[in-house]
Amino acid sequence: MVRASIGRRTSDGTSGAAAYELIAPSDKTALLRELTVSLAAATASTYGLGRPAAKGITPTSPVALLLESGSDKPPATTTAVAWGTGPTVPAQFFRRVSFPAVIGSTIVWTFAGGIPVPPGTTLVLWNLAANGVVDVSAVVDENY
């Protein structure tokens, strides 16, 4: 098992759109262990974490997670904050959070068993309102 992580800043706060997407590799499951969301603008904001009905197409800024431990192979899980066609809205959300208009407001969601992201699928942080940008940090285990 490989432990990997990354911190990214979102760029789209449009209500009813994805802010961030965690993309599992095509050949292995990623387990989301922790997700930290921290408000980077003084804008009251509401976010939800869920599985999109359809993942984003042609992410324009995919970035691979950084290796923390477990292997000398680089992680294959990636993230995106912009797309040619964005992911669709999740039907349900694992978690939701509402932030006051205070920069630095933060939530840390920890998933003891990990939320599985099967090969080729994704999880999204969804803008449930007209939101400010946030810093998002993810910790993931990849099964080899």
Q: What is the pLDDT confidence band of residue 144, given thresholds at 50, 70 and 90?
A: low
Per-residue model confidence as pLDDT tens digits over 6-25: 999 999 999 999 999 999 99
Residue 128 corresponds to which tokens in the numbers above?
């449930």
* Domain ranges (residues) in the chain: 1-88
Question: Can you give the three-state secondary structure of 78-103, one letter per residue?
Answer: EEECCEEECCCCECCCCEEEEECCCC
Please answer whether residues 2 and 141 qualify as being in contact, where contact means their C-beta atoms are separated by less than 8 angstroms.
yes
Residue 98 corresponds to which tokens in the numbers above?
């509402």
Per-residue model confidence as pLDDT tens digits over 109-134: 999 999 999 999 999 999 999 999 99
Q: What angle do CA 135, 122, 18 make, to 5 degrees?
A: 50
How confident is the model over 50-68, as a mean pLDDT?
93
Per-residue model confidence as pLDDT tens digits over 70-84: 777 889 999 999 999
Count of all residues that appear for the chain in the document: 144
